[in-house]
Amino acid sequence: MIEGAVWRKWVFYNIPLILFVFVLLFPFYWMIITSFRPDGELYRPWNAVNYNPFWTNNPTFEHIEYLFEETNFGRWMLNTMFIAVVSTLISLFCGVLAGYALARLNFPWAGSLGTMIFITYLVPQTLLFIPLAQIIRNFELGDTPWSLILTYPTFLIPFCTWLMMGYFKAIPKELEECARIDGASRWKAMVYIIIPCAVPGILSAGIIAFTLSWNEFIYALVFLSSPDQKTVPVGVTSELIRGDVFFWGPLMAGALLGSIPVAVVYSFFVEHYVSGLTGSVKG
Amino acid sequence: MTVTAVPGVVTRPTPRLRRLEDERWLALALLMPTAILLGLFIAYPFFEGVLLALTSQRVGVPGGFVGLQNFVKIWNDSIFRTAVWNTFWYTAVTTVFKLGLGLWLAMLLNRHFKGKALVRAFILLPFIIPTVLSTFAWKWMFDPTFSVINWALFHMGFITQRINWLGDPDLAMTSIIVVNIWRGVPFFAISLLAGLQTISPELNEAAAIDGARPWNRFWYVTWPLLLPVTMVVMLFSVIQTFADFQLVYVMTGGGPANATQLFATYAYQLGIGTGLLSEGAAISLAMFPFLFLIVVVQLLYIRRVETR
């Protein structure tokens, strides 16, 4: 890097970076502070005198208590967790196998199948939700976690496959050939030699798939109806707003607690997450 | 399963695992689970959606075949036209800002400083935290009476009247654009940062020694090398933004007076809210030609950039 005077470094690098970080993180700070602020402080007009919105001296747990006592929030968390974990596992299973086939096997149509997977990767959920809702109803899956567990892989599998293809292509062919010369079958070479080499990729794909299914909204909104079955994003949206009244304290507490599982998984595997994200755009 | 006479494979009953020695059979077996799930929940609903859009079905009313009537109807629907215009505006403005700010942030991060890993981990938060949940934080920040943004602007002396962020049609669109940019910038920044890191610093240094100004170094050295990554990132972002639903659903629900209605929110409102299933399906499907065009154009462009 070309170094200049100290003030230049501040003006051109440090101050813009601090501003970026501030703007990107402020909504989360606001979420946290609102979750612990009593209602009496929350609902004070923006131009009230002596009002300090950025801190509270009377932290309270009333909003979190409300969530667990008056709503099914605990249930929503378990539902979301179950759905996210199972659909991630299904997608990883399918994606690893398909990625291996597309990256390392010679067979007719391999190229066009790869392109097809890439195209489905780009199909947004909002394109198909209405006919899909009817299909879910015809299969009698409506209002069950399985309606989501089986449909989430439609956007997770293409992603996992695409990412895994990249990882498999990077593993040298000689590794597999050695195993084959030593007498391993194709299947065994894949399961015992190649897939273990791709574990970092599988981890990346799994983490991103988990956050994506935790984030999904429109399918969960349309396919689930009873309060017991809802996922966190849908439950918070439908049960904490009554008509025009927003329960902002519990809403923010729900948003905060609902973000924690994703944030924890992310914080443990930041490097895997970033490498997966950047791997997925390499194309 | 029948044993087909493939040249080179002995046609006698072979144990199942032996058959997997043939690459074609193995590929078939490995792709089967994916093909079943994607066929059942993408290809089949797409086909069903097209059929549904050609009928007059509503909730509880089976309805008959009506041809292209639904498409004619939405074509003449002024709200649909608003939604189309809004979607294009929303996509175009957010993409330009996400690219510009994302690139800027990527360049700020592309150097060594203390706590770089931590900063990088934190700035991705808007992208990984569930959109609905973080959008609620923004909705609370934009609240007409208790807005912290109004509070800050008031105390800095910029305003004396409150600003009704989500109640005014023009401001509501600007507000959802701001939130979308906020959510998308980290993705652009991290992906472009990865692209920047693959560019050898020697290229820039050589250009500097030859007397190139910083702007020229960026425009003639960095930018062309970054273009392939940029195009793929844009492709994902444009499609996700074009088909966006959750952010707008939470912030405004398409209002006020349809000022923020997008394809997806309008399809939801008609198809699920009002129960006009076939019309909702038609509106969703109306996205398809646009999405298809975006994908084709960008893929062709990416191919051209990569083979150059």
DSSP secondary structure letters along A54-71: T--SS---HHHHHHHHHS
H or E element, residue A242: strand A241-242
- Mutation pick from B6, B104, B128, B192 vs chain A, by most beta carbons of A within 10 Å, is B128
Co-location of B46 and B161 in the same domain: no
The CATH code of the domain that includes A79 is 1.10.3720.10
| Cβ atoms B265, B253 nearer than 8 A | yes
* Residue span of the structural domain in which B44 resides: 26-53
B178 in contact with A at a CB cutoff of 8 Å? no
Co-location of B48 and B86 in the same domain: no
Query: What's the whole-model pTM score?
Result: 0.89
Task: Give the count of domains, chain A.
Answer: 2
Residues A101, A107, A108, A110, Cα dihedral to 10°: 30
Note which residues in 92-151 of chain B have CB less than 8 A from chain A.
101, 104-105, 108-109, 111-113, 117, 119-126, 128-134, 136-138, 140-141, 143, 145-148, 150-151
* Residue span of the structural domain in which A148 resides: 69-280
Q: How far apart, in whole angstroms, are the C-alpha atoms of residue A60 and residue A65?
A: 10
Co-location of A158 and A224 in the same domain: yes
Residues ≥6 apart with Cβ < 8 Å to A22: none
Co-location of A17 and A125 in the same domain: no
Handedness of CA B32, B38, B43, B44 (dihedral sign): positive
In 3D space, the residue among A216, A204, A211 whose CA is nearest the CA of residue A99 turns out to be A204
Compare B97 and B203 and report the one with higher pLDDT.
B97
Of chain A, the percentage scoring pLDDT greater than 90 comes to 45
Co-location of A18 and A145 in the same domain: no
| Cβ atoms B97, B182 nearer than 8 A | no
A161 in contact with B at a CB cutoff of 8 Å? yes
Indicate the angle between helix axes B78-109 and B223-242, nearest 10 degrees.
140
**Residue B65, strand partner residues:** B55
Handedness of CA B18, B23, B28, B30 (dihedral sign): positive
Q: Is the pLDDT of residue B151 over 90?
A: no
Q: Is the pLDDT of residue B9 over 60?
A: no
B215-264 pLDDT, tens per residue? 888 898 889 889 888 988 998 899 999 999 999 999 998 878 889 999 99
Co-location of A41 and A99 in the same domain: no
Co-location of B129 and B38 in the same domain: no
Residue A246, class by beta-carbon neighbours within 10 Å (0-12 exposed, 13-18 middle, 19+ buried)?
Answer: middle
Co-location of A200 and A86 in the same domain: yes
| DSSP-assigned states of every residue in B225-254 | HHHHHHHHHHHHHHHHHHT--HHHHHHTTT
Judge: A232–B138 Cβ closer than 8 Å, yes or no: no
| Cβ atoms A29, A52 nearer than 8 A | no
Mean pLDDT of A133-150: 91
Co-location of A56 and A79 in the same domain: no
* Structural domain contains residue A1: no
Residues ≥6 apart with Cβ < 8 Å to B125: A24, A25, A28, A263, B186
Q: How far apart, in whole angstroms, are the C-alpha atoms of residue B78 and residue B84?
A: 10
Co-location of B37 and B176 in the same domain: no
* Structural domain contains residue B114: yes
A98 in contact with B at a CB cutoff of 8 Å? yes
A213-237 pLDDT, tens per residue? 999 999 999 999 898 999 999 999 8
Q: Is the pLDDT of residue B69 over 60?
A: yes
A33 in contact with B at a CB cutoff of 8 Å? no
A145-162 pLDDT, tens per residue? 999 999 999 999 999 998
pLDDT at A3: 55
H or E element, residue A115: helix A110-121
| Cβ atoms A118, A158 nearer than 8 A | yes
Give the CA distances from residue B43 to residues A106, A222, A228, B27, B165, in Å, rounded to whole numbers and listed in that order: 25, 19, 31, 21, 41
Instruction: Flag whether the ipTM exceeds 0.95.
Output: no
- Mutation pick from B99, B112, B136, B279 vs chain A, by most beta carbons of A within 10 Å, is B136
Q: How far apart, in whole angstroms, are the C-alpha atoms of residue A117 and residue B12?
A: 35
Q: Which two tokens stand for residue A73?
A: 């929030």
Q: How far apart, in whole angstroms, are the C-alpha atoms of residue A183 and residue A180?
A: 5
Query: Among A45-49, A208-212, B162-166, which is the least confidently predicted range?
Result: A45-49
| Cβ atoms B56, A142 nearer than 8 A | no
Which residue type, as a one-letter code, is found at position A240? L
Co-location of B37 and B127 in the same domain: no
Co-location of B44 and B109 in the same domain: no
* Structural domain contains residue A196: yes
Co-location of B45 and B157 in the same domain: no
* Structural domain contains residue B34: yes
| Cβ atoms B153, B163 nearer than 8 A | yes
**Contacting residues of A for B143, CB less than 8 Å apart:** 248
Co-location of B89 and B40 in the same domain: no
A260 in contact with B at a CB cutoff of 8 Å? no
Note which residues in 5-44 of chain B have CB less than 8 A from chain A.
17-18, 20-21, 23-24, 26-28, 30-31, 33-34, 37-38, 40-42, 44
Co-location of B126 and B250 in the same domain: yes
| Cβ atoms B242, B290 nearer than 8 A | yes
Task: Give the count of domains, chain B.
Answer: 2
